[in-house]
């Protein structure tokens, strides 16, 4: 009962902030005056904030920024022993440094390393945490650019613009992410998270043994880890660590921060296209899928099927006492419905079907509500595919928000959808073909689940794992690194291309034959299309892993 109240309280809190916080984000991304800090950034970067970019320039700016970020982070990791606060850690090996650099720049935060035994404090702060901010801002910026494509009302022209990436990046970081993190960090510190530069304290325990209590700037990193749907833990065990998640209420707050931006972005969408009801429809799709998934995950974990959970009497393996089963399951659903990937309990030890839910959540394409920005643009693509399918059924030219979904648009949308399944299934097949599935800890169907989970997580930029599998080998680091890189930037380029193409269209007036896209019927259709697409794509793979394990 308390576990269900926990879920309900989160829903209520998110409903309450939807309008005010969405409206605030709307004001941030529709340019108004710059403040001193922003003008300083523009001067230092050397950009004119008044210059608008076409989709091509916008995309090249995103790619340039990400490429430089990967190189910079790779350098920090490789040379960390020469920097301050290295705590005596060695340079990170080449393949792990590549994997980690890609991982944090792509908002994945897949961790092939163990934080407490690999990284010094400076790399965590000035390398990883910075990418936590800016990769989240990049996602929101691209989503906003897509909305500008829908909202564009200009005469058909070749040079339709989508805004300025540098301005979006700066304003989103300075006005949305940073202020919330300042507040959240303070609250987390009151809750007991550590925030220091200490290399740790050796203590003598009651029984006379030595224990090394670790230190670090954890609270400041934890705030952006959740808010930016990043998920990279300061320590190996992520939000299960008492220093990263000291109590039941910090757990609640972490889940709230994970959902905060993705669930409020549909409001920004509605405001920008001047039809709030369209925002409500998108938010409703997200909510239906999310609530369904959370209910299933919590229900399956509480039911506790399977030999070991039955022997134990509860699915408590890999879960913390202070969170218990239902709150842990809620976190697991939240972290995979978004692109977060933080964990407060270990999915590998979940019941077979309970552990399948995080995988299914990611396979949905992380659109309910998805990562910061990436969730919204993913769902808008699915809405366009739905409009197209509906249009085919009744034999009309499909249009969404007055923009025709023509051959070019649907090609881009379909390619967008195909990228991740290709990476997930191709990567899993490659692991088995090359024998690299042998690093899985568990055997049988569960071993397949560990491999499938790894590529699902990497290609969808999630970052959580069935943690039993060993992934710090060169093959795994390179393969998952490629999956993360392609899984982030191919869709992102396709979205910006789509935005450019939409921006060039003059909106068509609504007619009697226009499919209304703000009513429950349409919400139901988008949910249906999403679930059917995912089922068709992934059911065979799931049948060999978690379904085989859970139903035998």
Q: Please give the residues from 31 up to 50 whose contact with other proteins meets the rule CB under 8 A.
A: 41, 44-47
Compute the least distance from the CB of residue 382 to other proteins, in Å.
31
Considering only residues 64-123, where is the footprint of other proteins by CB under 8 A? 64-65, 67-69, 72, 114, 116-117
| DSSP tag of 208 | S
Please check whether residue 52 is in contact with residue 161, taking contact to mean a CB–CB distance below 8 angstroms. yes
Site for other proteins in 445-474 (CB under 8 A): 445-446, 449, 466-468
Applying CB under 8 A, among 240, 423, 451, 498 the residue interacting with other proteins is 240
Nearer to other proteins, 114 or 274 (CB): 114
125 touches other proteins (CB under 8 A): yes
Q: Smallest gap, in angstroms, from Cβ of residue 236 to other proteins?
A: 5
Q: Contact 145/162 with Cβ under 8 angstroms?
A: yes
Site for other proteins in 350-379 (CB under 8 A): 350-352, 355
What whole-number distance in Å separates Cα of residue 341 and Cα of residue 461? 8
The yes or no reply on residue 241 touching other proteins (CB under 8 A) is yes
Question: Of 508 and 551, which CB lies nearer to other proteins in the complex structure?
Answer: 551
Contact 460, 421 (CB under 8 A): no
Q: Applying CB under 8 A, does 130 fall inside the site for other proteins?
A: yes
**Helices (DSSP H) in 158-247: which residue ranges?**
165-171, 178-191, 218-227
Residue range at the interface with other proteins (CB under 8 A); choices 125-133, 141-149, 285-293, 517-525: 125-133
Contact 221, 230 (CB under 8 A): no
12 is a site residue for other proteins (CB under 8 A): no
Smallest distance, other proteins to C-beta of residue 527, A: 29
By CB under 8 A, the residues from 136 to 175 that bind other proteins are: 166, 169-170, 173
Closest CB to other proteins among 313 and 395?
Answer: 313
* Contact positions with other proteins (CB under 8 A) in 248-277: 248-249, 251-252
Contact 101, 70 (CB under 8 A): yes
439 or 530, CB closer to other proteins?
Answer: 439
Nearer Cβ to other proteins, position 206 or 433?
Answer: 206
Of 349, 386, 437, 501, which lies in the binding site for other proteins, with binding defined by CB under 8 A? 349
- 409 binding other proteins? (CB under 8 A): no
β-bridge partners, 161: 54
Question: How far is 533 from 241, CA to CA, in rounded Å?
Answer: 37
* Residue 200 vs 507, nearer CB to other proteins: 200
**Would you call 249 exposed, middle or buried from its count of C-beta atoms within 10 A (0-12, 13-18, 19+)?**
exposed
HEC sequence for 417-436: HHHHHHHHHHHHHHHHHCCH
Cα–Cα distance for residue pair 369/335, rounded to 1 Å: 10
507 binds other proteins (CB under 8 A): no
Q: Count of residues binding other proteins (CB under 8 A)?
A: 120
How many whole angstroms separate alpha carbon 327 and alpha carbon 134?
29
Candidate residues 26, 58, 61, 110; the one interacting with other proteins per rule CB under 8 A: 61
* Shortest spacing between CB 1 and other proteins, in angstroms: 8
Which residue of 33, 156, 158, 204 would you call a contact of other proteins, by CB under 8 A? 204
Q: What are the distances in angstroms from CA 216 to CA 122, 133, 201?
A: 10, 18, 11
CB atoms within 10 A of CB 479: 23
Nearer to other proteins, 240 or 281 (CB): 240
Shortest reach from residue 492's CB to other proteins, in Å: 15
Distance separating alpha carbons of residues 485 and 346, to the nearest angstrom: 25
Q: Which token pair is 424? A: 């997930």
* 204: CB partners within 8 A, 6+ apart: 210, 211
Chosen residue from 154, 196, 274, 519 binding other proteins by CB under 8 A? 196
Residue positions counted in the chain:
552
Residue 6 binds other proteins, judged by CB under 8 A: yes
List 51, 183, 203, 508, residue binding other proteins (CB under 8 A): 203
Among 209, 393, 394, 407, binds other proteins (CB under 8 A): 209
- Residue owning tokens 């309280």: 9
CB of residue 393 vs other proteins: minimum separation in angstroms?
42
* Closer residue to other proteins (CB): 189 or 422: 189
Piece of the chain touching other proteins by CB under 8 A; list 229-237, 383-391, 497-505, 534-542: 229-237
Looking at residue 366, the DSSP 8-state letter turns out to be S
Residues 307-326 that bind other proteins (CB under 8 A): 307-324
Out of 443, 509, 511, 520, name the contact with other proteins by CB under 8 A.
443
Nearest distance in Å: CB 290, other proteins? 20
Residues 6+ apart with CB under 8 A from 118: 89, 92, 96
DSSP string, 131-145: HHHHHHHHHHHHHHH
The residue assigned the tokens 């299309």 is 529
Closest approach of other proteins to the CB of residue 524, in Å = 32
Picking from 494, 266, 220, the residue whose alpha carbon sits closest to that of residue 370 is 266
Q: Binding to other proteins (CB under 8 A): which residues in 270-309?
A: 305-309
508 binds other proteins (CB under 8 A): no
Measure the CA–CA gap between 404 and 425, rounded to whole angstroms: 32
Least distance (Å) from other proteins to the CB of residue 248? 2
d(CA 318, CA 97): 28
């Amino acid at each position: 009962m308390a576990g269900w109240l926990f879920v309900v309280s989160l829903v209520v809190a998110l409903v309450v902030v939807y309008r005010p916080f969405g409206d605030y984000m709307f004001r941030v991304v529709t340019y108004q005056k710059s403040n001193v800090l922003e003008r300083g950034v523009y001067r230092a970067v050397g950009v004119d904030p008044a210059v608008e970019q076409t989709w091509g320039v916008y995309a090249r700016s995103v790619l340039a920024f990400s490429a430089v970020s990967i190189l910079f982070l790779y350098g920090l990791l490789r040379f960390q022993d020469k920097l301050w606060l290295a705590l005596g850690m060695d340079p990170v090996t080449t393949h792990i440094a590549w994997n980690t650099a890609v991982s944090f720049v792509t908002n994945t935060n897949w961790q092939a390393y163990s934080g407490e035994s690999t990284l010094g404090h400076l790399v965590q702060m000035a390398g990883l945490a910075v990418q936590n901010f800016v990769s989240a801002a990049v996602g929101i910026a691209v989503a906003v650019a897509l909305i500008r494509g829908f909202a564009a009302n200009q005469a058909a022209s070749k040079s339709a613009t989508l805004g300025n990436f540098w301005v979006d990046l700066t304003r989103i970081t300075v006005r949305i992410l940073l202020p919330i993190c300042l507040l959240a960090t303070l609250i987390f510190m009151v809750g007991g998270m550590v925030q220091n530069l200490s290399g740790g304290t050796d203590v003598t325990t009651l029984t006379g043994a030595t224990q090394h209590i670790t230190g670090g700037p954890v609270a400041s990193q934890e705030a952006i880890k959740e808010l930016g749907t990043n998920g990279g833990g300061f320590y190996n065990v992520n939000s299960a660590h008492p220093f990263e998640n000291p109590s039941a209420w910090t757990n609640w707050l972490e889940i709230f921060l994970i959902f905060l931006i993705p669930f409020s972005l549909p409001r920004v969408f509605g405001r920008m296209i001047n039809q709030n009801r369209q925002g409500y429809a998108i938010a409703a799709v997200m909510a239906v899928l999310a609530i369904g998934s959370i209910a299933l995950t919590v229900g399956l974990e509480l039911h506790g099927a399977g030999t070991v959970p039955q022997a134990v009497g509860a699915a408590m393996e890999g879960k913390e006492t202070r969170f218990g089963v239902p709150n842990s399951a809620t976190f697991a659903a939240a972290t995979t419905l978004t692109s977060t990937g933080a964990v407060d309990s270990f999915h590998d030890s979940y019941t077979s079907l309970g552990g399948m839910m995080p995988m299914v959540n990611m396979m949905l394409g992380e659109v309910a509500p998805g990562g910061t920005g990436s969730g919204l643009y993913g769902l808008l693509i699915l809405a366009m595919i739905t409009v197209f399918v509906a249009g085919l059924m009744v034999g009309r030219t499909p249009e969404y928000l007055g923009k025709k979904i023509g051959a070019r648009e649907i090609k881009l949308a379909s390619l967008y959808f195909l990228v991740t399944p290709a990476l997930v299934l191709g990567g899993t097949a490659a692991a088995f073909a090359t024998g690299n599935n042998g690093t899985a800890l568990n055997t049988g169907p569960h071993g397949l689940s560990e491999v499938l989970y790894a590529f699902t997580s990497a290609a969808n930029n999630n970052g959580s794992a069935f943690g039993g599998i060993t992934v710090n080998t060169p093959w795994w680091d390179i393969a998952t690194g490629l999956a993360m890189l392609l899984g982030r930037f191919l869709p992102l380029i396709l979205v910006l291309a789509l935005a450019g193409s939409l921006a060039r269209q003059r909106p068509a007036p609504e007619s009697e034959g226009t499919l209304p896209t703000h009513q429950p019927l349409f919400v139901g259709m988008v949910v249906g299309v999403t679930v059917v697409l995912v089922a068709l794509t992934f059911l065979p793979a799931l049948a060999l892993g978690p379904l085989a394990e859970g139903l035998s």
